[in-house]
Structure 1
C-alpha cells in the first residue's frame, strides 16, 4: 500500500489516469502489491497557475512532457527490485500515456513500520505493545 504522488506538466485527466495505472500496474508486477492497494494523488500542472521545473541531469534530457513520480514505502526492498520497478513504470508510462521514458523521474522514500497509519490513529504495522 504505498502512497503514490504523480505530478505531470501539460496533461489532461485521461493522461493522469493512464500514468496512475502505469505506476499501479508496475507496483503489482514488480513488488506484488494487490490490486486494491490503490492510494494515489494525481496532479496536472498547466504551466501557468501551477508548474513543474525541470532540467537535464546525468545526461538525460527532459522536456515539458516530464512526470514526477514519488512513492513512499517501507524500507527493505532490494535494489534489483527497485530497478525493475523504475524500468517497468517507464515502459508502462510510454505504453499507456505516450510519455517518453526519459521524462519519467521516480523517487522512492522508505521508512519504518511505525511510520504508517491507515486510519483510526493506529500504527497498524507496529501496534502498541501491551
Structure 2
C-alpha cells in the first residue's frame, strides 16, 4: 500500500491528475502493486498562499518552476533495483502524461512496517494478515 503525496508548482487539476496517474502506473509496473491500491494526495501550489523552495542546481540537475515533489510511503522490502526502476518509470511517465521533464521530478521513498498502516475501522489490517501468514503487498 503505497501512500503518495505529490506537490507541484503551477499545477492545475489536469496536470495533477496526470502526475498522479504517472506515479500510480509506475508503482504498478515497477514494483507490482495491485492496480486498485490507489491512495494519493495531490496538491498544486500557486505561490500566493503556499510555497515550494528548491535548490535549482543541486547535484548538478537544473530544475525550474515545473518541479514536482513525489513522496511515496510504503512497506519495506523492495530492492535497490526495484526502487531505481520506480524512479526511472515515474520520471518517464511524468514526462509522457504531464509534460514534466525528468530533471524536474524529485522522488522520496519512506518505508515502514505492517503495523504502521490502518485502512479504516481502527484496525491494522496488514498486521493482522501478517499474523495469519497472509501476503498483502
Residue in 1 that maps onto 2:43:
43
**Separation in structure 1 between the aligned mates of residue 119 and residue 10 of structure 2, nearest angstrom:** 32
Normalising by structure 1, we get a TM-score of 0.95
Unaligned runs of 5+ in 1: none
Normalising by structure 2, we get a TM-score of 0.90
**Separation in structure 1 between the aligned mates of residue 97 and residue 86 of structure 2, nearest angstrom:** 16
State the aligned residue count. Answer: 129
- 4+ long deviations beyond 6 Å: none
Unaligned runs of 5+ in 2: 132-137
Partner deviation per Cα, 1:45-96 (whole Å, 9 max, x = no partner): 0012112111121111111000000000001110000000000000000000
What SS does the corresponding residue of 2:58 show, helix, strand or coil? Answer: coil
Task: Return the structure number with greater helix share.
Answer: 2
1:62 paired to 2:71: no
What SS does the corresponding residue of 1:118 show, helix, strand or coil? Answer: coil
Residue in 1 that maps onto 2:18:
18
**Separation in structure 1 between the aligned mates of residue 90 and residue 29 of structure 2, nearest angstrom:** 10
Residue in 1 that maps onto 2:93:
92
Question: Alignment RMSD, CA only?
Answer: 1.3
**Separation in structure 1 between the aligned mates of residue 75 and residue 27 of structure 2, nearest angstrom:** 13
**Separation in structure 1 between the aligned mates of residue 121 and residue 77 of structure 2, nearest angstrom:** 26
**Separation in structure 2 between the aligned mates of residue 26 and residue 101 of structure 1, nearest angstrom:** 14
**Separation in structure 1 between the aligned mates of residue 51 and residue 95 of structure 2, nearest angstrom:** 21
